[in-house]
Chains A and B, each alone.
Chain A
Amino acid sequence: DQQVKQNSPSLSVQEGRISILNCDYTNSMFDYFLWYKKYPAEGPTFLISISSIKDKNEDGRFTVFLNKSAKHLSLHIVPSQPGDSAVYFCAASFYNNNDMRFGAGTRLTVKP
């Protein structure tokens, strides 16, 4: 039961341009959404999160948008840098519950 889906397994963008990673979910009861970044041979690291009561959260070059009616969230990276090349996982959870549901990940490649 894949409650969180990342339909694009890979994305390639040019350095300096915008990267947009997408995520869809099916359970409307999720109330917290997170993005994690994973480099090879490392564990995922937390990037940015958003509560279901908001529709946008920004942290430097990273912005997450949440569209609850569409059950869709996206991560925007502007400007993209080669060091951003990694696998990005979208995750959703219920309030104060660490049973997070992750998407399959999107491999982002930022070309110099």
Chain B
Amino acid sequence: KAGVTQTPRYLIKTRGQQVTLSCSPISGHRSVSWYQQTPGQGLQFLFEYFSETQRNKGNFPGRFSGRQFSNSRSEMNVSTLELGDSALYLCASSSRTGLTGELFFGEGSRLTVL
């Protein structure tokens, strides 16, 4: 079974630009969550999508947005990039059918904002 796939793996942007990251979940998984990882902050929850609907949202500004398509693939967008947005963005999928709450993570998209 293929794992969670994130593209692109690495990208460099400049302040003020916008970026779109893509995530393909494990086949059959309908929940996709996004996390931001920065040194010393651990993983911070951005949002979760399930069946094309945003179910949960973390404490990030409106510049961070996302969506999910009917095939469960998800994208997140960051507009008007700031230096502090430099981070590893991780996508995770879940079947949400079990009680374990286990998330399956992709390898991440490392964004550098110059």
Q: A residues within 8 Å of B by Cβ?
A: 1, 4, 6, 9, 32, 34, 36, 41-46, 49, 51, 89, 91, 93, 95-105
Asked if A99 meets B58 with Cβ closer than 8 Å, knowing A34-B101, A44-B43, A104-B40, the reply is yes
Give the most central of A43, A45, A91, A95: most B CB within 10 Å.
Answer: A43
Q: How far is the CA of A93 from the CA of B33 in the complex (A)?
A: 13
Pairs A–B under 8 Å by Cβ, sample size 23 = A1-B59, A4-B42, A9-B40, A32-B100, A34-B101, A36-B105, A42-B107, A43-B105, A44-B90, A45-B105, A46-B103, A96-B96, A96-B99, A97-B56, A98-B31, A98-B55, A98-B56, A98-B101, A99-B56, A99-B58, A100-B33, A100-B103, A102-B42
B 18-73 contacts with A by CB, 8 A = 31, 33, 35, 40-45, 48, 55-56, 58-59
Q: Is B42's CB under 8 angstroms from A104's CB?
A: yes
Taking CB atoms, residues of chain A closer than 8 Å to B96 are 96, 98
Taking CB atoms, residues of chain B closer than 8 Å to A102 are 35, 42-45
Taking CB atoms, residues of chain B closer than 8 Å to A95 are 99
Whole-angstrom distance between the Cβ of A92 and the nearest chain B Cβ: 10
Q: How far is the CA of A51 from the CA of B99 in the complex (A)?
A: 9
Whole-angstrom distance between the Cβ of A15 and the nearest chain B Cβ: 27
Q: How far is the CA of A103 from the CA of B43 in the complex (A)?
A: 7
Interface range on chain B: under 10, 10 to 19, 20 to 34, or 35 or more? 20 to 34
A43 touches which of B40, B56, B59, B90 (Cβ 8 Å): B90
Q: Is A104's CB under 8 angstroms from B41's CB?
A: yes
Whole-angstrom distance between the Cβ of B35 and the nearest chain A Cβ: 7
Q: How far is the CA of A42 from the CA of B54 in the complex (A)?
A: 26
Q: Is B59's CB under 8 angstroms from A98's CB?
A: no
Q: How far is the CA of A51 from the CA of B101 in the complex (A)?
A: 10
Q: How far is the CA of A27 from the CA of B59 in the complex (A)?
A: 17
Instruction: Give the residue name and chain of the B residue nearest to A47 (CB).
Output: B102
B42 touches which of A1, A42, A89 (Cβ 8 Å): A89
